[in-house]
Structure 1
Amino acid sequence: MSAEQGDSDYLSGHQEYQQVFEELVVVRDRLVAEVVCSQPLLDQIHVQHRESARNLLYYLALRRRDLRPLQIRLAALGLSSLGRAESHVMATIDAVLEMLQRLLDKTTDVTDSGESSIDFNTGERLLAAHAESLLGPAAPGRGVRIMVTMPSEAADDYELIYHLLQQDMECMRINCAHDDVEAWSRMIAHLRRAEHALGKRCRVVMDLGGPKLRTGPLEPGAAVVKVRPRRDEYGRVIAPARIWLYPAEQPAASPAPADACLPVEAAWLKRLEVGDKIRLIDARHSRRSLRVVDCLDQGCWLEANKTTYLVPGTTLRLRSHKGKKLRATEIVAVSPRENCLLLHPGDQLIVTRDQTPGRPEVRDSAGQVLTPARIGCSIPSVFNDVQSGESIWFDDGKIGGVVEKVASDQVQVRITQTRLQGAKLRADKGINLPESQLRLPALTQQDLEDLSFVAQHADVVELSFANRASDIEQLQSELQRLDGRQPAIVLKIETRLGFENLPDMLLTAMRSPCCGVMIARGDLAVECGFERMAEVQEEILWICEAAHVPVIWATQVLETLAKEGMPSRAEITDAAMGHRAECVMLNKGPHVLHAVKTLDDILRRMQAHQTKKRSMLRELRLATHSSGKQDQDGHQSNDVNGS
C-alpha cells in the first residue's frame, strides 16, 4: 500500500470517527436538555427511585428517534451500538464518547458534566435491589422468582401451600375477584404455618378485581338432558350411562359422578328394587329401557345402554323384575341447558345496555334472519365512549367484530372474525374494546371495600386494568387514607391504553417506595393484537429495565402443564422467555406442583445463558462436541464428553 493510500484511509477513518462523535454529542445534549425540563417531575419521585426515574427519562428521550443508522456506524467502527443501554443510558453514551475522544485525540471532555450517577454496575444493582424489595429474595441458584395463583381449594388445603413453598414458590398470589375475606385469611394462615415449618419466607400478593367488562346473561336453553353410554370404535357399549334418581321432596346430590340427576316422586322411588326395569318414550319418541342397579336411602342408580333424551314430564313406567306392573310417574324437572350464541363472520350481534337475558338469532323457514342475536353487557356505561368503526372482541379474542352503530339503548356489531365453523359466545365472557378511549375507573366499589383487608395483610397489591396515571394516584391516595402498613404497588398492564401510558404510570408509581409491573398477557394480546404481543412485551421489559422496576411475566405460563399434566413445546419456549423478567407467574391447576418444578428447572438453565438482552458466553457444551475440536498440540480430538 502506498503512503498516499495509507494517508487517505487514515483521513477517511478520522472523518468517520469525527462525524459519529458529533452526532452522538447531539444525541447526548438533547437527552440532557429534555431531562432538565423534567426536574419538577423528578422532584415528586421517591428518593429511592429518583436516579432511576432520571435514567428512564434519558431512555425515553433516546428512543424518540430512529437510532438504527447510528447503531450501524458505531458497530462498523468496533464500538458499542447502544443496544444494552436500558439500565445505564448516560453511562453507555459517555463510554462511547470517551472512546471516540481518545481516537480523535480530543482534550476537552464533553462527558464531564455529572448528569447521572448510574454507571454500568449501579443500574443492575438497583434493579436487583428493587426486585428483592418487591418480591423477596430469589431461591439460591435462580435469579427469577416464581409466583403461584391460589385456587379456591387452597383455603382448606394446607398441604398444597406447604408443598408449593417447599418447591421454592417465592410469591403467593390471591385473586380478589374470587372467594372472600374468610377464604383469603385461611390461605394466608396456611402460608404462615408453612413458612414456620420450612423456615422460608414468601410474599403475599393480592390482586384487586378491577372493573370486569363481560357479557350479560342469556335466556336458558332447552330443558333437556342427553345421556349416552360410552362405546368403542365398533359402536359396542363399554360403559352404560348412569342416571341418579332422587326424591323431589328431599333433593340429594349424587354420591358419585352421574350423567344425569333427576327428581321424581318419593313414594314411587321407594318401590324400586335392584333389577327392576323402567320403560319410557324419550323426547325423540324413541322407546327406551333403563335398569335399576342400586338403591340407597337417598335415591337410586339407573343404567342406560342407549342414548336417551329426557325432559320434564317424561313418563317413567316401572316393571318389577318379579313380573309385577306398578304405577308410573313423571320426571319432575330437568335443569335447562346453558345457552349460547353461535356466531359466524358476517353475522350481526346486538349488545344491549341492560341485563335483559340475551338470546340467539331467529331465522325463518328460508334461513333469513328475522331478529339478530342479542346479549347484554356488565358495564353499559362503556358504550358512552365507543364510536362506530372501532373494534370489539369477545371471550379472550375468540370472536372479533366491528361496531357499526351506537344507539341510546344498544350497540350494533358486525362479526368479522371467528373460527371457520363459527364460535359460541356464552354469558360472563370478557369484552375488549382496544380502540375505544374508555373512562372506566381502575378501582371499583368492591375494590375499595377489599382494600382495607389487602392493606393489612398483603405485601403487594396489584392494580388491575391500570390505564392512566390518575388510576395509580387514586390507589396511592386510598392506601394513605387507610393509614396503616403500605403494601408495594404493581401495575397490571392488560389494555392497549395501559401499554401506551406506561411511562407516565411508572413515573407516578415511583412516587411510592416500592413498585413493579405485571405483563398480563391474556387481555393485552387481545387488545394489542396477537401478532404484536412479542413486540409489546419486549417494549415493556425495556421501559421497566430503564426505570429499574421489576417485571412479573404472567398469563398462561405452562398452562397446559398445570391443567393437564403435559406441556406443549410452544409453552416451554414461552416459559424460557420469562427469565427476562424478575418473576414468572403460574396459574392454578391440578398439576401446579409439577409446573413449579418444571419452571424452576427452566429458569435455572436459562440463567446461565441469558440476562435481559445480553447473551452470557458460558462454556458451550455443543462447541466441545464438535468433530473439528483440536487439542493443544493441534491434533484432532474425538472427545464428546462435554463440560
Structure 2
Amino acid sequence: MMNIRETTDTGIRAAEIYAEMVNLRETILNETRPLSSSGDDDPAIVNLGHYLALRRHDIRLLQRRLMALGLSSMGRLESRVLPTIDAVIHALAALSGARADIPAMPSELEFFAGEMRLEAASAALFGVTPPTRRTRIMVTLPSEAAEGPDLILDLARSGMDVARINCAHDGADAWRAMTASIRSAANVVGRDIKILMDIAGPKIRTGEVASADKKPRLQIGDRVRLVANGVPRIDDAVTRSAAVSLPEMVTRLSVGDRLRYDDGKLEAVVESVGTGEAVILVRRTKSGGTRLKAEKGINLPDTALGLSPLTTKDEADLETVIECADLIGYSFVSRPEDIDLLDSVLDRHGRTDHPLGLIAKIEQPLALTNLPALIARARKRGPFGVMIARGDLAAEIGFERLAEMQEEILWVCEAASVPCIWATQVLEDMVKEGIPTRGEMTDAAMAARAECVMLNKGPAVVEAVSLLDRLMGRMNDHVFKKTATLRALKSW
C-alpha cells in the first residue's frame, strides 16, 4: 500500500511534469508551420504539422520521467500528437490534483482517428485489406509476363495484391498484355489486384566505355574521364573513360562533388572539370574492384542537375498508363511543383473515369527535405502513397544513413496518414536463388510496419510471395507500426 509520503512525492513529480507538458503543448501549437501556401484543414496534415513541431525538440528526459509514473512515453504518437499529449496531461492532472485547463480528455474514437485515416488511405490506394495481414504485397513483373497468363495467375494465387509494371522496360503492347492477364487473374482469385505503372524518369547512366584495358576494373586511386557528348576519350594520364546518358550530368559537376556508381558499388569524387568533361577519382569500391561498364546507374548526391522528373518518353508512356493503370509510380519527384507538372500532363492526355493513385518514389535528398510539402500537395489530389526506394536512396545519401532515414520516412508518413511501400532488394536471394538469407528474412519482417512491401522479379518470385504472405500474416499478430501487440506466446 502506498503511504502518505509516497503519495505526496508522486503528486509533486506529477505537478512538475504537468507544467512541462502544458508548456510543450503550447510550444507545439505556436511553432506549427503551414505546409502549403493555401493553408490546410485536412486533419492528417494538421497532425503532421504538430508532429514536425514536436520533433524539433529533444524530449528524451521528459519521456523517461513519464515512464516512471506509468504514463505514456509518447514514443508512438505519430498518428495522434495532440490526443496523446492531452491524454497525458489529464492523467498528470489526476495524479497531481491540478485542474486540466485544456480541451476535454480525448475519446477513444478521437484518440485512434489517425489510425483509421491511415487504414482508409491504404484501402483507397491498394484496395481491400487482405484477411490475414495489413501489409500488401507488390511484385515487379518481368518481361515474360506479357507472353501468357500463367505467371501472373500463380502470383495472384500466392498472395500478390499489387502488380508493378516498370515502364523503363518493354512497351505499350506488352503492358496491355500484362494488364489483361492481371485483370483476368483478379477475376479468377476473386479479389481486386491493383496495377502500378512506374514511369522511368530521367535515367543517369554510363554510355559507351573506352579503356586501355579490355575489361576495366576500377580500384581506389584510379581516374575516369566522363564526357558529356561524343566518344569517350582516353590518354596517358587517364586511361579509362565513359560517355553518359545525360550531358547535364557532366556539365553541372563541380570539383569535390561525390559520385556513386552501380548502386553504390563505387564512390568517387570530382577531381577536375573541363569543357564538356570531368575527371573523377575513385575513393572507395568493393573488394576486388568494380567493372566499368555501359548502362550502369550513376548517383550524384551533391549536384543540382535541374532535370525535369518527366521526360519526353514519360509523357508518351502516360497515354498507356492512363489506359491501363490504377496507380502511377513517379520517379525523381522532389518538389510540390513536380506533382503539378504531372497533373498538367495527365490533363493534356485526358484523365480516366477513375482517379489514378499516385506513388511518390523517395530516392533523392531533395525529396527527403521536401517530403512534408510533397505530402501536403499530393493528398489534395486523391489516393497517395510513398515508396521508400531504398536502392537509389542509399546511393544518394550513403548506406550508413539508410536505416535511419527509412525509419524517419515511416514516421512522417504515419503522422500524415500516408501509406508507405518498403522497396528494393526485399528477399532478393530468395527471389533469385530460392533460398533466403537470415538477414533478408529479418528485413522482410521489419517491412510489416509498412502498408506495402515490394518484391523484384526473379525465377523464384512465386515462392517468395508465398513466403512473404505467411511471414506478414505472423507479424500482423505481433506489431502495428511502432507498437508491439502482445498476443499470447506459445513457444514457452
- Aligned partners of 1:134 and 1:515 also within 8 Å: yes
Match of 2:182 in 1: 191
Where is the helix percentage greater, Structure 1 or Structure 2?
A: 2
Partner of 2:160: 169
SS in 2 for 1:216: strand
1:55-104 CA distances to partner (integer Å, 9 max, x unpaired)? Answer: 11111111011111211221122211110100111110000011111122
Distance, in Å, in 1 between the alignment partners of 2:446 and 2:248 is 38
- Are the equivalent residues in 2 in contact too, given 1:88–1:118 (CA < 8 A)? no
In structure 1, what is the Cα distance between the partners aligned to 2:91 and 2:105?
Answer: 17
Q: CA 1:106–1:40 in 2, change beyond 3 Å: closer, same or farther?
A: farther
Residue 434 in structure 1 maps to residue 301 in structure 2: yes
5+ residue gaps, structure 2, are none
**Other structure's SS at 1:507 match:** helix
Equivalent residue in structure 2 for 1:349, among 224, 229, 241:
224
Give the aligned length: 489
RMSD of equivalent CA atoms: 2.3
Contact residue 224 and residue 238 of structure 2 kept, 8 A? no
| 2:118 aligned to which of 106, 109, 127 | 127
Which region of structure 1 is more displaced relative to structure 2, 17-26 or 168-177? 17-26
Q: 2:441, 2:71 → 1: CA distance?
A: 36
TM-score normalized by the length of structure 1: 0.72
Distance, in Å, in 1 between the alignment partners of 2:231 and 2:362 is 32
The partner residue of 1:65 within 54, 57, 61 is: 57
Q: Work out the CA distance in 2 between the residues paired with 1:402 and 1:566.
A: 37
**For 1:515, which of 384, 400, 410 is the aligned residue?**
384
Amino acid at match of 1:346: G
Name the counterpart of 1:25: 22
Deviation of 1:344 (Å): 0.9
CA contact (8 A) 1:395 1:425 kept: no
- CA, structure 1 residues 106+168, in 2 after alignment: closer, same or farther (shift >3 Å)? same
Alignment partner for residue 256 of structure 2, among 367, 377, 389?
Answer: 389
**Deviation per residue, 1:224-282 (Å, 9 max, x gap):** xxxxxxxxxxxxxxxxxxxxxxxxxxxxxxxxxxxxxxxxxxxxxxxxxxxxxxxxxxx
Matched, 1:151 2:142: yes
2:290 is matched with which residue?
423
* Preserved contact between residue 216 and residue 358 of structure 1 (Cα < 8 Å): no
Equivalent pair of 1:214/1:430 in contact (CA under 8 Å): yes
Q: Answer yes or no: is 1:489 the counterpart of 2:358.
A: yes
2:270 and 2:36 map into 1 onto residues whose CA distance is 43
- CA contact 1:51–1:118 (8 Å) conserved in 2: no
Distance 1:104 1:567, change over 3 A: same
Residue aligned with 2:112, SS: helix
Q: Say whether residues 1:373 and 2:221 are aligned partners.
A: no
Deviations 1:512-557 (A, max 9, x none): 1210000111111111211211111100100000011001111111
Q: How does 1:192-591 map to 2 (within 5 A)?
A: 192-219=183-210, 340-357=215-232, 370-485=237-352, 486-591=355-460
Q: C-alpha separation between the residues in 2 aligned to 1:159 and 1:181? A: 20
Which one of 126, 132, 142 corresponds to residue 133 of structure 2? 142
Q: Give the 3 Å change call, closer, same or farther, for CA 563–420 of structure 1 in structure 2.
A: closer
Q: 1:91 to 1:218 in 2, by over 3 A?
A: same
* Aligned-residue offset at 1:118: 7.7
State the AA in 1 paired with 2:208.
Answer: P
C-alpha displacement at 1:38, in angstroms? Answer: 5.9
- Pairwise CA distance, 1:42: 3.4
Q: Does 1:605 align with 2:474?
A: yes
**Match of residue 67 from structure 2:** 75
What is the deviation of 1:509? 0.9
C-alpha distance in 2 between matches for 1:72 and 1:386: 48
Q: Quick one: distance in 1 between partners of 2:209 and 2:34? A: 55
Contact 1:91 1:119 in 2 (8 A): yes
The percent of aligned pairs where both chains have the same amino acid is: 43
Letter in 1 for 2:321: V
Quote the Cα distance in structure 1 between the aligned partners of 2:226 and 2:384. Answer: 38
The 1-side partners of 2:34 and 2:456 are apart by 43
Contact 2:152-2:182 within 8 A present in 1 as well: yes
Residue aligned with 2:309, SS = coil
Task: Provide the C-alpha distance between the structure 1 equivalents of 2:126 and 2:38, rounded to a whole number of angstroms.
Answer: 27
1:10 Cα offset (Å): 5.2
Contact 2:34–2:49, Cα closer than 8 Å, also in 1: no
Change (3 A) 1:583 1:406: same
Aligned AA for 2:22?
V
Q: Does structure 1 retain, via aligned residues, the 8 Å contact 2:48–2:415?
A: yes
Conserved 8 A contact 1:217-1:355: no
Residues in 2 aligned to 1:13 and 1:385: alpha-carbon distance in whole angstroms: 62
The structure showing larger relative contact order (alpha-carbon pairs under 8 Å, at least 6 residues apart) is 2
- What is the TM-score normalised by the length of structure 2? 0.94
Task: Verify the 8 A CA contact 1:340 1:427 in the aligned structure 2.
Answer: no
My pick for the range that moved more, 420-429 or 607-616, is 420-429
Cα drift, residue 408 of structure 1? 2.3
Structure with the greater alpha carbon radius of gyration: 1
